[in-house]
Structures are given as C-alpha cells and as structure tokens.
C-alpha cells in the first residue's frame, strides 16, 4: 500500500518538475517584507488541527528524500525533519510554495500538497515522529575545539532565540536546531549570512552577518552536538 502511494506521489512530482518553475516573491530584499507574516494558506494551515493519520499518508512523497523516519541525510543534502515544530514546518513549506524561499528540489514535492489542511496534517505527522539517535556531526580532528568555540559563540547571541538547548520556540517560529545535521546547519547559516535565504528572519541576518566562515563552522559543530528535544527512537514508553 505505502509503496503504491509513494510511487504515485513520485510520478506526480515528476510531472511537477516538467511544469512551470516555482513562483518568486520578494523576500528579505524587499522593504515590505515581514518575516513571519501570517497570510494566505499559511495562516489557514496554522489555524487547523493537523491529523497525524492523514499526515502519514501525505508524508509518503516527502520520505523519498527525508526518509520514512524523517531522519534526512547525514551529508546535509536533506535536513532531519522528525520532531520539528509544526509551526516551522508549515511556514517553510508555505514559503517554498509561495516563492519566498528558493528550493527548486523541494518545490515540486511541496506543490503536491493540495490545501492548508494537508499542510497541517503532514506537519503534525512529522512533529510526532521519534527523534533518530544518529545524525551528521562535525568530524574533523579538532572537533572538541570547534564545539567549544561554537558553544561560546552560541551562548552569546544564538540562545536568546533558539534557547539553551537549541529547542527553538514553537510560538515564534524559531526552529529546533539541536541535533540537526552539521552540514545542513552550516549551509543554511552561510546562505542566511550571504543573503541567499530570502525568507530568513532579518534579526538573524543582522546577528550572523559579521561571522566568518570559521565561526559558522564552529557554531554548526556545536549545534549538531546538542541532543534534539523529544522522544528518541527506541526509548521505552
């Protein structure tokens, strides 16, 4: 059953690849940009109660890249989604669909979700997934040093929004960053610093703008070393 649904979803996605490109809406480069504006399908999805059972079926197409477990890829090509806040998931998917966030790989898949209710359903399912015990970490010979440097930087400017443990803030749309794949964290922070993540929080852009590549490596190493909050896979109930 699941294999059939997944194949059908992938075929639908391949059609989407052949269709028109993703829309492009002005983001951080625009004067009127509001980072967490609640409008359109985004606010509709946020106001709906997600159904985990329906969300599991809708997630089939997502699992092709993010894996059925929601673990993503340790090499950072696809982020770990399991346990992420529903608000963050809804915002990011809606932003990609609306053209606020450039992600040509994900856009055809996100476009297969039919309405705000399905956005809410798939986000509820992803948030309910147990947290994988393994993820991509910084693996250099100087790992301990990088994590220590990153901890110092994180505690100065990052924890105010993302919290002591990297758990983020569901109500404010701040993502869980603890336990995310190191290479994914590094890529996203680099893109935010360099102005390529068009749906970024302008406050974060200001904070991260002065950071050097070496500092971003250290912060990413520290964040990836943290334990993601939530029920770990294999935990006894």
Query: Looking at the chain, which residues constitute the CATH 1.10.760.10 domain(s)?
Result: 2-128, 143-225
Name the CATH architecture for the domain at 143-225.
Orthogonal Bundle (1.10)
- Bigger pLDDT: 1 vs 187: 187
List residues forming the annotated binding site for heme c.
62, 65-66, 106, 158, 161-162, 204
Comparing CA positions, the residue from 131, 116, 12, 124 lying closest to residue 59 is 124
Task: Scan for tokens 């028109």, then name that residue.
Answer: 20
CB 175 within 8 Å of CB 160? no
Residue 13 clears pLDDT 80, i.e. is over it: no
Indicate the CATH number of 2-128 among 1.10.10.60, 3.90.550.10, 1.10.760.10, 3.90.850.10.
1.10.760.10
93-137 pLDDT, tens digit each: 999 999 999 999 999 999 999 999 999 999 999 999 999 999 999
Residue 7 clears pLDDT 50, i.e. is over it: no
**Mean pLDDT of the 4-13 span:** 42
List residues forming the annotated binding site.
62, 65-66, 106, 158, 161-162, 204
Q: CA 52 to CA 164: how far, in whole Å?
A: 29
Residue 82 clears pLDDT 60, i.e. is over it: yes
């Amino acid at each position: 059953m699941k294999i059939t649904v997944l194949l059908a979803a992938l075929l639908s996605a391949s059609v989407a690849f052949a269709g028109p490109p993703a829309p492009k809406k002005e983001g951080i480069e625009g004067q009127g940009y509001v980072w967490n504006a609640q409008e359109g399908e985004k606010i509709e999805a946020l106001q709906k109660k997600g159904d985990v059972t329906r969300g599991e079926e809708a997630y089939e197409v997502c699992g092709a890249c993010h894996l059925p477990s929601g673990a993503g890829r340790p090499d950072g090509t696809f982020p770990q989604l399991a346990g992420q806040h529903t608000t963050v998931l809804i915002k990011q998917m809606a932003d990609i669909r609306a053209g606020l966030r450039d992600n040509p790989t994900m856009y055809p898949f996100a476009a297969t979700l039919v309405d705000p209710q399905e956005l809410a359903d798939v986000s509820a399912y992803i948030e309910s997934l147990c947290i994988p015990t393994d993820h991509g970490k910084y693996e250099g010979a100087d790992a301990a040093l990088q994590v220590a440097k990153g901890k110092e930087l994180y505690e100065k400017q990052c924890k105010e929004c993302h919290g002591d443990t990297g758990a983020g803030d569901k109500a404010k749309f701040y993502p869980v960053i603890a336990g995310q794949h190191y290479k994914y964290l590094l890529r996203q922070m680099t893109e935010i610093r360099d102005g390529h993540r068009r749906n970024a929080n302008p406050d974060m852009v200001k904070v991260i703008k002065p950071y050097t590549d070496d500092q971003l490596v250290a912060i990413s190493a520290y964040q990836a070393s943290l334990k993601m909050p939530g029920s770990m896979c294999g935990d006894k109930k």
